[in-house]
Amino acid sequence: MATIATMLSFSLAGQPFCSFSNPTQSFSFKTITVTRPRPRTRTRTSFTWLNPQPRGVLVEATPPSSPPSPSPRDGSIKVLALPENRADDIQAEARALARAANASVYSPQLVASKYGSQPIKVVGRALQVLTAVGMFGLKLFIDQKSGALDQNKRIRAIELRDTFTRLGPTFVKLGQGLSTRPDICPPEYLEELSELQDGLPTFPDEQAFECIESELGLSIDSIFSSISPRAVAAASLGQVYKGQLKYSGKLVAVKVQRPDIEEAIGLDFYLIRGLGFLVNKYVDFITSDVVGLIDEFARRVFQELNYVQEGQNARRFKKLYADKENIFVPDVFWDYTSVKVLTMEWVDGVKLSEQEAIEKQGLKVLDLVNAGIQCSLRQLLEYGYFHADPHPGNLLATPEGKLAFLDFGMMSETPEEARYAIIGHVVHLVNRDYEAMARDYYDLDFLSRDVDVSPIVPALRNFFDDALSYTVSELNFKTLVDGLGNVLYQYPFNVPAYYALILRSLTVLEGLALYADPNFKVLAASYPYFAKRLLTDPNPYLRDALIELLFKDGKFRWNRLENLLTQGRKDRDFSAKEALQPVLKVLLSADGEDLRNLVIKEAARVSEAFTLGTMSETYRYIPDFVRTLVFNGNATGPFMMSETEMQNMIELRDQVLRIWGLLQSSHDFDPAILLPILQVLEQPEARRLGGRVVGGITQRLAARFLQQILRVPSTASE
């Protein structure tokens, strides 16, 4: 396959015409000759209904026993063996990749060269776009002059959404992209643009069937025993038909690309990019590089035009996330997939936004939303590969109660460093450490290192101090995102696409859930995942974040540990074994001296609480006359300490016991999990630490009892 790819090449004035990439290699093509090891003459056949039926029903044909394939020499039909194992599937995928070897990719230089020489076409489309956009801009200008800019934000946001819909596929995609950019658009615009759907008029079905035959080199009736004569769904870039494969009888969804869509999108991005230069130069309140954002977005849209790449995206997504029993990802049929045709397993299901239809199937919307939230968190923070177009139409509830993901044309990745930085950001948010939160924006690539974050800190404090007055279970995620969006909009932030898209995904899921339960909160549903990752992930960044969360001002915060364990146990993947061992490794590491000192101090405090707390409670059950004899005539109490200090000790002891109970009640708890811990404790550093802990406990208890003997009042600070 790599040989085929390297032999395909194109030229335009000696410059690379396009690039081709596959999972293992990238190539640039410069020559004008197109060569294949086994050249094939592609035949183009006209489409005719063999058995005319009323529109809206499936057209029947006689099925053969195995899938047909065009001859590599003359376009005649041959029979492929039914794939029986992964090797066959890989071979079929390789054939699909070969068909997609000449797929175009976005190049600003190529687009400028191509459309710069077509002034009539450019001017015609420019007038159409400028008329629509100019009218909108004029209204904004009038609003600004009249002081009604803020007052009319919602009205103008609705008008912009309608304008993008009228201008066609490129602008629908552009609007959806802008709906994830809080650094560019105010919240009102984000909300309205997020409602943009891909529902556009269909193109003629005859053109779709001709495209299938042309792309695959097969006649319709040789591939399908039946296929819907009309599209069952239409999107901005293509439309979908429901068919049944002849060789297997399986129902499939066949997505066919719109005719000349690449030409139309290329022209639009040429114009939009020119507008971006003007925005960069003259619009001061937009601080992001608009041209750079347009180029990045155009690359993503052009990737969507390669349906073989979309099939590979689906395969990778399925491998990573369909291991959970409540997530479903359809299979790809590679022998019937090319650049402009994608054939995937048909999914029977109901859109996640159709609550009534879901409940009629005996399913609960909230269960499906929770599955989507957990999958989104895994996408963002575990593997970093995620669905970048998460509108409700791409999420289906299957009759089996699974959440099915569809449409894998637009995917994105979260850098590994950012995955851990996001979790650390949540820790700083919980701790209300706004200075650390502001510094996190460097690691998240929100800000360049030369930007001073000190002015941002008061804005974060003003918003989050109010927002965090709610408990985690009360805090609305959309409110949090909108508030953070206002902060981002006011300062020189450049929000990475991965971060904006995942926020949009979680906001969409929360919005769907609110229809079923007005009290649902996505943060409460996602917090167990964060707690589990903090407690069990051995990554150094997360270990430091956990230590930062648990220790403050030299004291261990047992209430935080109890809360983390309580929440973490709600995650089905939580393991008590994993929660214990990484902590010990950090504790005994060469860089763990500061932590060891804190642990020694805390161990002494806990031992004192257990000893004195137990003695105090035992004292309550001793008869008064015995108390007088044993405690030197003191019948009021055995210790010279305040009631508050003693109560604090008892509460600490009880809290430690509750934490141990939480560990014991974990689904995988077994005393055997302590064996690795004992092995770690046999290390020399562990023995030294143990000796220091015992010494600290002995010293503290000895001081306490000497104090009692001498009847010296203690202070709560000891």
Provide the annotated active-site residues: 389
Q: Side chain identity at 598, as an amino acid letter?
A: L
Instruction: Specify burial of residue 208 (Cβ count, 10 A radius: 0-12, 13-18, 19+).
Output: buried
Residues in CB range of 626: below 8 A, 6 or more apart: none
Residues in CB range of 262: below 8 A, 6 or more apart: 104, 302, 305
3-state secondary structure of 552: strand
Q: What is the 3-state secondary structure (H, E, C) of 508-542?
A: HHHHHHHHHCCCCCHHHHHHHHHHHHHHHCCCHHH
Instruction: Specify burial of residue 716 (Cβ count, 10 A radius: 0-12, 13-18, 19+).
Output: exposed
Q: Side chain identity at 34, as an amino acid letter?
A: V
Q: How far apart are CA 655 and CA 613, in angstroms?
A: 12
Angle between helical axes of 643-664 and 576-587 (0-180°, round to 10): 120
Give the CA angle between residues 426, 599, 542 to the nearest 5°: 25
Cα Rg of the chain, angstroms: 32
| Positive/negative CA dihedral, 651, 655, 656, 660 | positive
- Residues 305/261, Cβ–Cβ less than 8 Å: yes
- Residues 257/341, Cβ–Cβ less than 8 Å: yes
Q: Which residues of 329-352 are buried (b: 16+ CB within 10 A; e: fewer)?
A: bbebbbbbbbbbbbbbbbbebbbb
Torsion of CA 492, 498, 504, 510, to 10 degrees: -120
Give the CA angle between residues 530, 535, 539 to the nearest 5°: 90
Q: How many CA atoms lie within 13 A of 552 on its CB side?
A: 13
Q: How far apart are CA 671 and CA 674, in angstroms?
A: 6
Q: Side chain identity at 415, as an amino acid letter?
A: P
Residues in CB range of 339: below 8 A, 6 or more apart: 99, 100, 102, 103, 215, 257, 305, 306, 307, 308
Bridge partners, 404 (sequence order)? 328, 396
**Tokens found for residue 575:** 């393991």
Q: How far apart are CA 588 and CA 279, in angstroms?
A: 55
Matching residue, tokens 């004029």: 138
CB atoms within 10 A of CB 123: 11
